[in-house]
Amino acid sequence: MADTTVAPATLAMLGSVPLFQSLNKHQVRRLAETAQERRFKAGDIIVRQGDKGVGFYLILEGEAKVERAGHPVASLGAGQFFGEMALLDDQPRTADVRASAAVRCLVLSSWEFWAAVGDEPEVLRTLLKETVRRIRSAPAALSE
């Protein structure tokens, strides 16, 4: 059985993440209990461009670089998320995400992610807004 003990710091972090701002304490706790915590070393590839997307990642600690076709496109830190694009359109990953320092993440499977936020319009709106911003920031590369 999964360990459902959630560190208070993790709960506080989740509660303060803009994406989950509209969730109540109960929903935040459930999200934290459902997610798996994973750690990556500097240099590890966390998701790989072209792979099937099965998870959504929220960075709790550390920094990751987003690289498309080997070119850096963004840097993500604590409180930011990645892996949403392949979950939204059920298509392969659009980029590599590589840990540039030790990274601690919360990971939700696609199913867990949709079960937790699929009926939360504010979360979906924030998610879509950020996703569109990301697509706008690299239109040529994404349409390749």
Instruction: Give contact residues for ligand CMP (rule: CB under 6 A).
Output: 47, 53, 66, 73-74, 82-86, 93-95, 97, 134, 137-138
CB of 40 to ligand CMP, least distance (A): 14
**110-117 and 25-34 helices cross at what angle (nearest 10)?**
170
CB of 1 to ligand CMP, least distance (A): 29
Which residues, at least 6 apart from 125, have a Cβ–Cβ distance to it below 8 Å? none
Closer residue to ligand CMP (CB): 74 or 107: 74
CB of 50 to ligand CMP, least distance (A): 10
Closer residue to ligand CMP (CB): 8 or 139: 139
CB of 37 to ligand CMP, least distance (A): 19
**Share of the chain residues as helix, strand and coil, in percent rounded to the nearest 5:** 40, 30, 30
Closer residue to ligand CMP (CB): 85 or 101: 85
User: Mapping DSSP to helix (H, G, I), strand (E, B) and coil, where does residue 113 land?
Assistant: helix
C-beta of residue 14 within 8 angstroms of C-beta of residue 32: yes
Closer residue to ligand CMP (CB): 53 or 62: 53
C-beta of residue 143 within 8 angstroms of C-beta of residue 68: no
Q: What is the CA radius of gyration of the chain?
A: 15
